[in-house]
Amino acid sequence: IWWLDPELTYGNAKPFVFTQGHSVCNRSFFPCFDTPAVKCTYSATVKAPAGIQVLMSATQSTYLEEEGVYQFYMEYPVPAYLVALVAGDLIHADIGPRSRVWAEPCLLPTAISKLSGMVERWLAAAESLYGPYIWGRYDIVFLPPSFPIVAMENPCLTFIISSILESDEFLIIDVIHEVAHSWFGNAVTNATWEEMWLSEGLATYAQRRITTETYGAAFTCLETAFRLDALHRQMKLLGEDNPVSKLQVKLEPGVNPSNLMNLFTYEKGYCFVYYLSQLCGDPRHFDSFLRAYIEKYKFTSVVAQDLLDSFLNFFPELKEQCVESKAGLEFERWLNATGPPLAEPDLSQGSSLTRPVEMLFKLWTTEPLDSVAAASSVDLTKWRTFQTVLFLDRLLDGSPLPHEVIKKLSECYSSQLDSMNAEIRIRWLQIVVRNDYYPDLYKVRRFLENQMSRMYTIPLYEDLCTGTLKSFALEIFYQTQNQLHPNLRKTIQQILSQGLNPLPAIDTTAVATDTPAMVLEDKVSEATNGAISLRDVNVSA
């Protein structure tokens, strides 16, 4: 349960509270069987002060104004982690016949402009693929930057971090992913956290089928290429033999299942589901199977064998061909082998969008650097966001770059990137930091002074503290710590404390006089790993 003082909200007017149950946190909210294997309906009575709007992931709600009491009822069985509550200075606007958006007053116009009419389009596309939307309403609430993840698929009421509003393409993908969870994850749920891919892999596949229907195959292939790049980056960091790269991960006693949330759950799971769809020949045949799968198992929890047995029974000709035992691509190997996916999708339909990225990257990384004129003629403002972040991610992977290259990159693109969304800007600033490019460091300071979310602060602090700029990071942190949620503040303290034993003296004269004194913690959390930036693992639930 996250309690926020008014200054941690956008409006700075009223306190705010929200819950985040995934994976096993709702046991601290109410007594429950905190496992996805158990589902039930629920009702709740919530009393709140006047002026505080309360919402829950429920199909029915009423409000008794004279008593300040809200009553909620979820008529369909859900696992405990999908019970969610949010309360604060929230107002709403309808954006479709069965959808409304909730946000703080200062954010609502932006939310309306980004999503009006869009959600119904995505729901209709999903229904054409996977059958009726069974939850009644699909509302969205935008949460303050303290929300610890990007989005959460709470039924009837998707939670999304407000910070993503400025990045249109990421917003589209994140909402469509949560829409897909209405079928895969919420209606049919993985019975154990060891098989989280049954929700995330299937939801990612469904998300991409929806984007293909609404935005075309090229856009879907571009987004997939971006995510698979991130998967291989994570693979390189963790090692191909790491057990967390299995789809069926062994959950040891005492391990928080949330620690298993990684890109393998999403992208390796997606690749397996995509492989199954290719065995059918036509993805529409696979859509028909998934509709039958949802109809058979809705409101229950399943294991992988349920999905695979249903698949083979639905396609008896594939069962006769023993596709589950095809050499090198055995279903059991997909589930239990470490390492990268056994097969990846053909993304050639996205070449019109990915080829320019590959060409520009090659121009900047081929020695000698004699193609600056050609490279500088590329106008990144004309590119899609996913093209630009794919290009910057690849430059980031190659950092540190030769000084001449980073200098020319800044001359060509820095001013263009300044006006772009935060998903783009953070990547350029990470390049600046990893290359110790001092002329643009002031932009890093300015960015961190205006960001309060984990996904836009942690990666930069990790990079600053890995290199030679830790004192710069300390200075910024001391100046901005009061605007950060205590949980985020603690995480950054842990990052800053790595390698500081004993702590050096801090020049407090450089810190604002109203900044309270504080001591960095000596103990470094095992969960903090400077080598693996949240840039690589930042995904929606």
- Tell me which residues are annotated as active site: 178, 266
Q: DSSP letter at 87? A: E
**What is the rounded CA–CA span in Å between residue 6 and residue 15?**
4
Angle 384-389-390 from CA coordinates, rounded to 5°: 95
Letter string b/e over residues 247-284, b meaning 16 or more CB atoms within 10 A of that residue's CB? bbbebeeeeebbebbbbbbbbbbbbbbbbbbebbeeee
Instruction: Using alpha carbons, select from 204, 196, 160 the residue that is nearest to residue 180.
Output: 204
Report the distance separating Cα 92 and Cα 37, nearest Å: 34
Listed residue (16, 20, 77) closest to 43, CA to CA: 77
Residues 158, 151 contacting (CB under 8 angstroms) = yes
Its sign, for the CA torsion 33, 37, 43, 45, is positive
List the beta bridge partners of residue 139: 157
- For 11, counting Cβ atoms within 10 Å of its Cβ (0-12 exposed, 13-18 middle, 19+ buried), the class is middle
Maximum Cα–Cα distance across the chain: 76
Name the strand (E) or helix (H) holding 277.
Answer: helix 269-279
Say whether 367 counts as a known binding-site residue: no
For residue 97 the two structure tokens come to 């016949």
**Peptide bond before 400: cis, by omega within 30 degrees of 0?**
yes
Q: Using CA atoms, how far apart are residues 230 and 243, in angstroms rounded to an integer?
A: 18
Residues 6+ apart with CB under 8 A from 487: 2, 146, 148
Q: Is 25 helix (H, G, I), strand (E, B) or coil?
A: coil
Distances from the Cα of 84 to the Cαs of 18, 53, 55, 124, 152, in angstroms? 8, 14, 8, 25, 10
Reduced to 3 states, what is the DSSP secondary structure of residue 97?
A: coil
Q: Which H helix or E strand runs over 157?
A: strand 157-161
Q: What end-to-end distance do the CA atoms of the chain give, in Å?
A: 17
Residue 485 in marked binding region = no
Contact 448, 482 (CB under 8 A): no
Q: In the beta sheet, which residues pair with residue 152? A: 159
User: What single-letter DSSP state applies at residue 484?
Assistant: S
Q: Which residues contact 317 (CB under 8 A, 6 or more apart)?
A: none
Q: Is 404 annotated as a binding residue?
A: no
Ramachandran assignment for 249, one of left (phi > 0), alpha (psi -120 to 50 degrees), beta (any other): beta
Closest CA to 142 of 123, 129, 122, 157: 157
CA 313 to each of CA 60, 200, 286, 301, 503: distance values in angstroms, whole numbers, following the listed order: 38, 23, 13, 19, 63
How many residues are there in the chain?
A: 541
Bridging pattern class, strands 16-18 and 2-4: antiparallel
Which residues make up each annotated binding site for Zn(2+)? 177, 181, 200
Which residues make up each annotated binding site? 177, 181, 200
